[in-house]
Structure 1
Amino acid sequence: METITNPHQAHALFVLPETDKPIKESTIKLTQEQIDFFKTNGFLSIDNFIDDNEVSNIRNQYDQWFAAKLGREHGNFFDLLSEDTDDKEAVAPQLLWPSIYGKQMTGFDLYSTQMYANAYAISKALLGEDTIFKGDHAILKPSTSNSLPTPWHQDEAYWNPTLTYESLGVWVALQPVSIENGCMQFIPGSHRMYDVLPHHTQNNNPRIHGLEVDNPNELTKNIMSCPLPSGGATFHHCRTLHHTGPNCSNEPRRAYTLQFECNTKTREQPRLNTWNETKITEREKRAKESGWTLRAP
């Protein structure tokens, strides 16, 4: 293990792993049919990804992280779909880097989980042997009357516009998910049909972090929903159009996500990125003031 010692970085006191290799062996091996489905459609759904014991262990710690609002001072705990001010209840609270903050608070070790071992092995099978882990992210949708959908978007729209990515997100359900409480929904094949499309901030408000693809009604005519049992997971390419609906159930909807990438390349010309360049969010302000510089997963 290596300790970051740069005193100008907010993460200077955190310990990061020397390697992204999992401690456990994967319990899942994809079929060629599953690999082909992902390459064609840009997503894959797996019902029995981790067992009930691991779900329970992660969920118990997850609830402690969110109750403590870990990482808020660094811009890593924030509300995706509002102006993220302290005087209002969060609609869609997010925690970046739960593997870093959770280890400090609850002793959580992502790299020793079956979730990570399975995600790592499957991501290599889908992207290639040079695949590496890029970070993790916890997403909560409370069961409130003002719950909002997460807009249709491509993950790469949030990222460096000078690069093009072969990357995927792993979205793990920590309870059963359905359309009612906000399961993942995808546009099959959209990762092949489009580069990064034009996006805008939620409600065109530069103080909101969340992005929505322009003209979503013209792009989202062939929707495939992916309900999952507790412990199920979806995998999606970074250019696959996806969204989740509001949580209309009586229970919180918890998801743990991991990001992997392979063979990132420099673009000949930077792509459009006006939607990020004009943001003035509270989250970015807190990150800048604290000196947090790790790239968001």
Structure 2
Amino acid sequence: MEQHSAQQLLGNKQPYEYKDCGIPDWSTVHSDTGSLGSGPNSKEEWNSFKLTDRELNEFNRSGYIANKEVLTAKQCDAILSEYEKILALRSDSPEMSLFYEYHRNQSNDPDNVLMHALGHWRVSRLFHDLIFHPKVTVAASQLLAGVGEELCKVRFWHDQLFAKPAKHGGVVAWHQDYSYWTRTVPMRHLTVHIALEDQTLENGCIHYIPGSHNWNRDGEPLPVTDFNFGDMESIKTILTDEEKANFKPKPCLLKKGEVAIHHPLTVHGSYQNRSDNPRRAAVLNYFADGVKSNTDELLLDGTFKIGKGKRMDGQFYPIAFDPLSMT
């Protein structure tokens, strides 16, 4: 796999083929291509996407904010059409080579099915353009900004798909995202959960534990208790008495096209889907420019190694937002 310079990929408008197999690899394009509509064309329009002081304060207090509209119903429907194509991929489909992970059922329980994938931004123009969406990236820039900053440069970390089929959709066990990401430092990460259809109690909406972004172990995240997300309550085996007393789940009843944005230590999860319809969500994960690799191993399968202590950049971690673009 050939490495390309960041400058080359930023100016690229058409994806290169992956290993000459005829499959376009959208990670070779580092800018929005307009499949979800045209971007902002004035500073005033950019500023309209900023979070309010009230929203910023709520994020700092609870560890998340929710019910912000990002996508229209039409945009969601277009993305869901791509979703169906991804769900229908065969194990021998050439596109599979571009995914970092693809689990048809991560729980391995046929009565509690959870489809979970990473890397679909590489195979779909719509999912690629979603990572650059200004309603997402401007908010991410505010929330990731350091002391004394209003905004910061934001890089894309990786995406995720979570699909729960009707009637027998599985759980996503309680967890903190950064527990899985300690291979990158420092902790300046953020997660954006996008509802592609209405999320309800019956279909397994995302839930949060308000204030749990303050839970840690000597500055480190809580340990992972279930790598396959199947044991919903396993996290309680490692909580302190105080954390257990404050373990009060709050559901986020997101409407189609709305997002919930959460801190990397905010404990969250979702219950089973027992409704008559599927529950599908797209997740975008970001970090502040300057975050470094904390390992000499691959950070994501199918990518290039970034040595321990080196900055996270290059083909697979594009700049999703630069404050200079607002001027």
TM range (shorter): 0.7 to 0.9
Match of 1:127 among 132, 144, 153: 144
1:48 corresponds in structure 2 to 69
Task: Tell me how far 1:79 sits from its aligned partner.
Answer: 4.2
1:259 & 1:158 partners in 2: Cα distance?
A: 12
1:236 corresponds in structure 2 to 262
For residues 128-159 of structure 1, what are the alpha-carbon distances to aligned partners after superposition, in whole Å with 9 as ceiling and x for unaligned?
212222222211011133x3321100111112
2:58 corresponds in structure 1 to 37
Q: How many aligned residue pairs are there?
A: 264
Task: Tell me how far 1:164 sits from its aligned partner.
Answer: 3.4
Q: Do the aligned residues in 2 keep the contact of 1:22 with 1:120 (CA within 8 Å)?
A: no
Q: Do the aligned residues in 2 keep the contact of 1:199 with 1:214 (CA within 8 Å)?
A: no
1:257 & 1:67 partners in 2: Cα distance?
A: 19
Distance 1:249 1:210, change over 3 A: closer
How much identity, in percent, do the aligned residues show?
A: 22
Q: The residue matched to 1:68 in structure 2 has which SS?
A: coil
1:143 & 1:90 partners in 2: Cα distance?
A: 10
1:140 & 1:266 partners in 2: Cα distance?
A: 31
User: Matches of residues 92-131 of structure 1 in structure 2 within 5 Å?
Assistant: 92-103=114-125, 108=126, 110-111=128-129, 113=130, 116-128=133-145, 129-131=152-154
1:59 & 1:238 partners in 2: Cα distance?
A: 26
Which runs of no fewer than 5 residues in structure 1 stay unpaired? 203-207, 271-283
Distance 1:115 1:210, change over 3 A: farther
Task: Tell me how far 1:171 sits from its aligned partner.
Answer: 0.6
Task: Tell me how far 1:232 sits from its aligned partner.
Answer: 0.9
For residues 148-187 of structure 1, what are the alpha-carbon distances to aligned partners after superposition, in whole Å with 9 as ceiling and x for unaligned?
3211001111123463311111111111101211111111
Q: Do the aligned residues in 1 keep the contact of 2:173 with 2:270 (CA within 8 Å)?
A: yes
Distance 1:39 1:63, change over 3 A: same
Q: Does 1:293 align with 2:310?
A: no
Q: Does 1:227 align with 2:244?
A: no
Q: The residue matched to 1:257 in structure 2 has which SS?
A: strand
Task: Tell me how far 1:30 sits from its aligned partner.
Answer: 1.4
1:263 & 1:126 partners in 2: Cα distance?
A: 13
Q: The residue matched to 1:133 in structure 2 has which SS?
A: strand
Match of 1:200 among 221, 225, 229: 225
Which runs of no fewer than 5 residues in structure 2 stay unpaired? 1-8, 41-45, 146-151, 306-315, 318-327
For residues 237-288 of structure 1, what are the alpha-carbon distances to aligned partners after superposition, in whole Å with 9 as ceiling and x for unaligned?
1111000111111111010111111166679xx8xxxxxxxxxxxxx9xx97
Q: Does 1:177 align with 2:195?
A: no
Q: Does 1:16 align with 2:27?
A: yes
Distance 1:140 1:152, change over 3 A: same
Q: Do the aligned residues in 2 keep the contact of 1:47 with 1:232 (CA within 8 Å)?
A: yes
Amino acid at match of 2:142: A
Q: Do the aligned residues in 2 keep the contact of 1:154 with 1:213 (CA within 8 Å)?
A: no
Q: Do the aligned residues in 1 keep the contact of 2:194 with 2:283 (CA within 8 Å)?
A: yes
1:41 & 1:264 partners in 2: Cα distance?
A: 26
* Larger RCO of the pair (alpha carbons < 8 Å, separation 6+): 1
Q: The residue matched to 2:74 in structure 1 has which SS?
A: helix
Q: The residue matched to 2:133 in structure 1 has which SS?
A: helix
Match of 2:185 among 163, 173, 194: 163
1:93 & 1:164 partners in 2: Cα distance?
A: 30
Amino acid at match of 1:96: L
Amino acid at match of 1:199: V
Task: Tell me how far 1:77 sits from its aligned partner.
Answer: 1.3
Q: The residue matched to 1:165 in structure 2 has which SS?
A: coil
Task: Tell me how far 1:90 sits from its aligned partner.
Answer: 7.8
For residues 189-239 of structure 1, what are the alpha-carbon distances to aligned partners after superposition, in whole Å with 9 as ceiling and x for unaligned?
21123231122226xxxxx47685352776452222111111111001111
Q: Do the aligned residues in 2 keep the contact of 1:165 with 1:264 (CA within 8 Å)?
A: no
1:260 & 1:47 partners in 2: Cα distance?
A: 18
